[in-house]
Chain A
Amino acid sequence: MFDIASILFAGATGLLVIGIGGMVLSEHLYRMLLALAIAEAGANLMLVLAGFKWSASAPIITVSVESIPAMVDPVPQAMVLTAIVIGVGVQALALTMIIRIRNAYGTLNMREVKLKMEQEFADMADLPIETRSVPARNDQS
């Protein structure tokens, strides 16, 4: 029952739930980014699992072309390679934006950032901002 694939599947599920949970529940921009990295790791692990085969070797021919042993599926591994690189690019870009948001607004709290953004939009359009009482939480730096 508890074969390695099930354990890995549970791990991927856990990473996904932790990551997505962190993204929707966290209020701190940098933590959201870290949670995104975790969720991406979970999705990547899930993708690798899609080609995982018990007791098969890596898809590299080492001995001879004629006698190919049982190998895992190479396609998901190639896809994960692609997905990881995409993830790195997106995270680096998000990091640059975090730096700039911090420079512009002096805070990384999502609510405060959103409030200040709405304020700027309202200023641009000469509108009074809808003053909703948003309690600013100061538990995060």
Chain B
Amino acid sequence: MKELIVLTFAVPLLMAFLLPTISRVSFTLSKLIAPLVLLALAIMVVCIWNFHTETFVLHIGNFIGPQGIVFYVDRLALLFAFAIFAMTLLMWPWYFEKDESSDTRTRKLSLTLLLVAASAGMSLSGDIFNLYVFYELLAVASYGLIAAGNKKPAGNSYAAAFRYLMISALGSVFALLGIALIYFQTGTLNLAHLSEMKELLNNPAGLIAFVFILLGFGVKAELFPVNSWVPEAYMASSKRVAGLLAGLVSKLAVLVIIKALVLIYPQDEARQLLLFLGIAGVIVGEFSAMKAQDMTRMLSWSSIAQLGLVFIAFSIPGKAGMLAGLAVALHHLISKPAMFLIAERWGGSLQNLKGRAQSSPIMAALLILFALSMVGIPPLPGFWVKFLLLSGLSAQQAWLAIAVVLIMTVVETNYLYRVISSLYSRDEQQSVTSRHRTADTFSALILAGVLIFVSVQVQTVGQALDEIAQDAVDVKSYIDLSLGGGS
């Protein structure tokens, strides 16, 4: 049963390869079969979660030892694997424009499946170069999805995709360089094996390698200096793609950085760097979001700020940091895609949003819910997330970070309040009613349901998260399991 976990990336890849052929036979078939496969895989992940409570490893090709590629499947990886399928199904490109050819539609579906496969691989793999390969697959699939544009491809979607491609490719060169520097000194690529030899990397060359890897994988994680592509790409692409990239893909890149941080670089310098970049990201993101004139751009910058919070949280050493970081990341994973779905029909200037709450009251109410949670109002999960983050920081006596988090919460409240108040303000000349599509409302409602469920069951969820964090920082069992051989 447990070895079936490799199907999480093998089957979406298989589907993506065969989809052009299937859709030549019948496009309807290919449109139906892809979400069904994802649904089946999601159910499979849930079954594995239930039947295998212990962490296990898989040796690809039965090559036991550090020379082969190992998949390390703990609760964290399974949680992300499930999140990938659930989120992709919610953000699935159900809608097509009328004048699109079936070839174009099939290509979009194929690219989404490739994105899923790459994400699944990234959540499971325990080999640094293998992670790089999956990361590149993720990147190429997302270039294609951004270039496909919002309604139809136009100059801006090509330009945004190209600029994104250039930044991302530069990041990949850095990541490759970082991997080369690591290999120079240790002669291995397996994360567990590297973790055993981390003393070899506790020198300037090792830290330079970390900086390069951080820059490389940080591109997708919207890390501070390499995130200028974010607003453009989200403006140009469809909001479903934007939600997927901001919510899911960024978290997987964060996951890679965290794996490197926990297993290979426990040094203070590495954490300090992460803290510094996180603070810079929060400040830049929140102030730019405040200045933004339209909702998509505002959400993009706020996404950068939220990921800054994620990095601040992960810079806290030990289990407290892992727990806080996971909480911030998962909260963002749920709320940001929903907010992008809500923004789907409210893309224009914030001035034009006046009185829109009357035409779509559900979406306006959901926006309030997610905004309250993002700011951190008590019964909602966002409060507990910020609580974990601040208590972790105060244990470290990182007063600067605490001050930044608190001040930026005020800024966040300010711009979210501006949007909501204009939604509910009276406007006489309200004539254009662009209703949200049913699937958008449906997906946003499900995500809101998850949010409310978490705030009701906060005890249970907190405990589960605590266990996951405990497992995730257990470096010794990671090494023992990955190199121990028993599969």
The answer to A–B direct touch (Cβ < 8 A) is yes
Binds A, one of B251-259, B326-334, B345-353, B469-477: B345-353
- List residues of chain B with CB within 8 A of the CB of A105: 155, 159
Q: How many angstroms from the CA of A76 to the CA of B182 in the assembled complex?
A: 12
Least Cβ distance of B172 to chain A in Å? 8
Contact A93 B140 (CB under 8 A): yes
A86 interfacial contact with B, CB 8 Å: yes
A72 interfacial contact with B, CB 8 Å: no
Binds A, one of B34-42, B160-168, B193-201, B375-383: B160-168
Contact A43 B173 (CB under 8 A): yes
- List residues of chain A with CB within 8 A of the CB of B163: 114
A32-B166, A50-B183 known; A101+B158 contact, CB < 8 A? yes
Q: How many angstroms from the CA of A121 to the CA of B176 in the assembled complex?
A: 34
Contact A120 B169 (CB under 8 A): no
B154 interfacial contact with A, CB 8 Å: yes
Q: Mark A27-54, 1 if CB is under 8 A from B, else 0.
A: 0010010001001101110110111000
A23-B170, A94-B165, A101-B159 known; A46+B133 contact, CB < 8 A? no
Q: Mark A1-44, 1 if CB is under 8 A from B, else 0.
A: 00000000000000010011001100001001000100110111
Q: How many angstroms from the CA of A47 to the CA of B158 in the assembled complex?
A: 32
- List residues of chain A with CB within 8 A of the CB of B184: 49-50
- List residues of chain B with CB within 8 A of the CB of A98: 162
B143 interfacial contact with A, CB 8 Å: yes
- List residues of chain A with CB within 8 A of the CB of B173: 16, 19-20, 36, 39-40, 42-43
Contact B169 A43 (CB under 8 A): no
A113 interfacial contact with B, CB 8 Å: yes
A134 interfacial contact with B, CB 8 Å: no
Contact B170 A79 (CB under 8 A): no
- List residues of chain A with CB within 8 A of the CB of B440: none
Interface residues on A, range: 35 or more
Interface residues on B, range: 35 or more
- List residues of chain B with CB within 8 A of the CB of A51: 183
Q: Mark A108-127, 1 if CB is under 8 A from B, else 0.
A: 00000110110011001111
A47-B180, A51-B183, A125-B293 known; A104+B154 contact, CB < 8 A? yes
A135 interfacial contact with B, CB 8 Å: no
Contact A127 B293 (CB under 8 A): yes
B318 interfacial contact with A, CB 8 Å: no
Q: Taking CB as reference atom, which chain B residue is nearest A73?
A: B187
- List residues of chain A with CB within 8 A of the CB of B236: 117, 121
**Complex interface residues of chain A between 63 and 80 (CB less than 8 A to chain B):** 73, 75-76, 79
Contact B144 A127 (CB under 8 A): no
Q: How many angstroms from the CA of A117 to the CA of B180 in the assembled complex?
A: 37
- List residues of chain A with CB within 8 A of the CB of B183: 47, 50-51, 75-76
Q: Taking CB as reference atom, which chain A residue is nearest B147?
A: A97
A61 interfacial contact with B, CB 8 Å: no
Q: Taking CB as reference atom, which chain B residue is nearest A43?
A: B176
Least Cβ distance of B289 to chain A in Å? 15
- Most A-side CB within 10 Å, residue of B67, B143, B144, B172: B172
Contact B140 A89 (CB under 8 A): yes
Least Cβ distance of B228 to chain A in Å? 10
Least Cβ distance of B168 to chain A in Å? 9
Partner of B170, one of A20, A82, A97, A124: A20
Least Cβ distance of B423 to chain A in Å? 16
A19-B173, A46-B177, A47-B176 known; A126+B348 contact, CB < 8 A? yes
Partner of A104, one of B155, B176, B179, B293: B155
Least Cβ distance of A14 to chain B in Å? 14
B235 interfacial contact with A, CB 8 Å: yes
- List residues of chain A with CB within 8 A of the CB of B136: 86, 90
Q: How many angstroms from the CA of A121 to the CA of B169 in the assembled complex?
A: 24
Least Cβ distance of A134 to chain B in Å? 15
Q: Taking CB as reference atom, which chain B residue is nearest A83?
A: B176
- List residues of chain A with CB within 8 A of the CB of B67: 75
Least Cβ distance of A95 to chain B in Å? 10
- List residues of chain B with CB within 8 A of the CB of A137: none
Q: Taking CB as reference atom, which chain A residue is nearest B150?
A: A124
Q: How many angstroms from the CA of A97 to the CA of B162 in the assembled complex?
A: 6
Partner of A75, one of B154, B156, B176, B189: B189
B232 interfacial contact with A, CB 8 Å: yes
Contact A116 B349 (CB under 8 A): no
- List residues of chain B with CB within 8 A of the CB of A44: 176
B222 interfacial contact with A, CB 8 Å: no
B129 interfacial contact with A, CB 8 Å: yes
Q: How many angstroms from the CA of A105 to the CA of B129 in the assembled complex?
A: 38
B344 interfacial contact with A, CB 8 Å: no
Q: Taking CB as reference atom, which chain A residue is nearest B184?
A: A50
Partner of A93, one of B144, B172, B179, B235: B144
Q: Mark B59-102, 1 if CB is under 8 A from A, else 0.
A: 00000000100000000000000000000000000000000000
Can you list 6 pairs linking A and B with CB atoms under 8 Å apart? A36-B173, A39-B173, A43-B180, A47-B176, A113-B159, A127-B348
13 more A-B residue pairs beyond the given contacts A20-B173, A46-B181, with a C-beta to C-beta distance below 8 A: A36-B169, A39-B170, A44-B176, A46-B176, A86-B136, A93-B143, A93-B144, A97-B158, A100-B158, A104-B154, A114-B159, A121-B232, A127-B293
Q: Which residues of B contact A (CB under 8 A)?
A: 67, 129, 133, 136, 139-140, 143-144, 147, 153-156, 158-163, 165-166, 169-170, 172-173, 176-177, 179-181, 183-184, 187, 189, 232, 235-236, 293-294, 296, 347-349, 352
Q: Which residues of A contact B (CB under 8 A)?
A: 16, 19-20, 23-24, 29, 32, 36, 39-40, 42-44, 46-47, 49-51, 73, 75-76, 79, 82-83, 86, 89-90, 93-94, 97-98, 100-101, 104-105, 113-114, 116-117, 120-121, 124-127
